[in-house]
Copies of this chain bind each other. A is one copy, B any other.
Amino acid sequence: MALTGADVAKHSKADDCWVIVHGKAYDVTEFLPEHPGGSKIIVKYAGKDATEEFEPIHPPDTLDKYLPKSKHLGPVDMSTVAKEKTEESPDEIERQKRIQEMPLLEQCYNLLDFEAVARRVMKKTAWGYYSSAADDEITLRENRSAFQRMWFRPRILVNVEKVDFSTTMLGTPTSIPFYVTATALGKLGHPEGEVVLTRASQKHDVIQMIPTLASCSFDEIIDAAGPGQVQWLQLYVNKDRAITQRIVQHAERRGCRGLFITVDAPQLGRREKDMRTKFTEQGSNIQDGQVTDNSQGAARAISSFIDPALSWADIPWFQSITKMPIVLKGVQRVEDVLKAVEAGVQGVVLSNHGGRQLEFSRSAIEVLAETMPVLREQGLDGKIEVYVDGGVRRATDILKALCLGAKGVGIGRPFLYAMSAYGLDGVDRAMQLLKDEMEMGMRLIGATNIAELTPALVDSRGLFSHAAPPSDNLASAVYDPLVNPGQRVGVAQAKSRL
């Protein structure tokens, strides 16, 4: 017989804590101290239904994986559970109005338009998680700016009636040289999560990289794929290598065609916008001002398992457990690309993790411009595939990367924003816009296929200039500018009274 709401409600304290998730009750009392996101967030729901909070942050198989069966207390008769009367906040009412009045999908003409709409219609915390980056977010913006310091040297009078921008990545053909890169917590943006991206990728014959930190489970994302659809696995390496081995080999069995090991995140970044969004003032602080322990945002909560000891010495082990091509994701200097060649991996992704990890990492496109001439000089450019991600918003960005020598580019946030604003239709349109731009761009640059995209088509001399970095908004906001001497207001009246 099912438990009732009243049964669960009795266990509403930290030392006796039951919660309901998806209609089932769980005893999490002993689990509390182990929860990567801290115990406090769970205790808040002690004795209550935690589904809404739980959902976007945890893949559905989480409880099965991490909570012993003995703590699974079985189904709850949800009709007996008191509905939280979440009186809608003024913010939420405003947001609902913005959703109703959001622009039509066909008014979005480029990837940035989706971001504009998403910013208006997403929940503030979700927007905070997706859009935030490290420290002063200068790297985040540099990723975009760097592309704008590169210019084209297009060829004219080339017969461009037919242009073909299909290519291969890690040996598999694909319709266009971008892939959907791994991004965490898809359900923050859309209730169905990452499978939305899977479906759009299938439609457009685009490769999807499956994130370790997805809201959907790995198998859900694989299952959502169509026949022959290419997917890769992004991997945060667990301190427990047995878990990592299980994940990798499972992915290979399920048909993944590439293993992308994240190497730029031995510790996940502090993202202050995310932290500030999360911050909710406790009543008690108002009166006593005492310091409380606040969440450091979603990123830290979900990443405590990542192994900061991962090193070059681990690569042979990966090569021993899988036949998938291995790609190092997050390489940031030419020296490490050369090491990667030596280590015998199949590729690297030049990336600074979308500006979310080390502030003042250079943009991938700049590192690419540093890397390719060295690879060519040493005759190594055929030995390894070089990918870039970060800041890609236009087909011209893709073209620039390919002219310099990239095999493909990863695009992450823009598809999250398109999904958050318009669901599958949004991602579909975003991909179509990129394809339209790509066709136009190929024609106007005078290239009929990917092989014709060469360094001679770009002027990248400006790329290395850091004379005018993105503005430091926090510092600007605190600077108190000099002013000229003010008028002595009121003096005129005073005089006139004399």
Q: Which A residues are closer than 8 A to B by beta carbons?
A: 97-98, 100-110, 112-113, 115-117, 119-120, 127, 131, 135-138, 141, 144-145, 148-161, 263-264, 266-267, 269-270, 272-273, 275-276, 279, 281, 285-287, 289, 291-292, 294, 307-315, 328, 330-333, 335-336, 339, 357-362, 393-394, 396, 400, 425, 429, 436-437, 439-441, 443-445, 456, 459, 461-462, 464-469, 472-475, 477-492, 494-495, 498
Contacts and interface: CB of A to CB of B under 8 A. Distances in A.
A291 B157 contact: no
A100 to B, nearest CB: 4
A148 B335 CA distance: 23
B309 A159 contact: yes
B157 A311 contact: yes
Contact of A485 (B276, B309, B425): B276
A113 to B, nearest CB: 5
19 contacts: A100-B492, A101-B490, A102-B487, A106-B291, A107-B279, A117-B485, A145-B469, A152-B361, A152-B362, A155-B333, A155-B336, A157-B263, A159-B310, A160-B309, A266-B443, A269-B444, A291-B429, A462-B466, A467-B468
Contacts of A360: 148, 150-152, 396, 400
A358 B396 CA distance: 9
Contacts of A106: 279, 291-292, 294
Contact of A478 (B119, B267, B440, B467): B119
A469 B103 CA distance: 30
Contacts of A314: 157
Contacts of A474: 110, 112-113, 116, 482-484
Copies in the complex: 4
A475 B362 contact: no
Contacts of A107: 276, 279, 485
A51 B339 CA distance: 68
Contacts of A396: 135, 358-360
Q: Which of A159, A331, A456 has the largest number of chain B CB atoms within 10 A? A: A159
Given A135-B396, A276-B483, 9 more contacts: A101-B489, A104-B292, A104-B488, A119-B480, A136-B482, A155-B335, A266-B444, A267-B440, A462-B469
Given A144-B475, A484-B113, A491-B101, A469 B149 contact: yes
A177 to B, nearest CB: 18
A281 to B, nearest CB: 7
B358 A441 contact: yes
Contacts of A136: 394, 482
A432 B276 CA distance: 18
Contacts of A315: 157
Contacts of A328: 156-157
Contacts of A307: 161
A312 B492 contact: no
The 4 lowest CB-CB distance pairs between A and B, nearest first, are: A462-B466, A116-B484, A103-B485, A358-B444
A478 B115 contact: yes
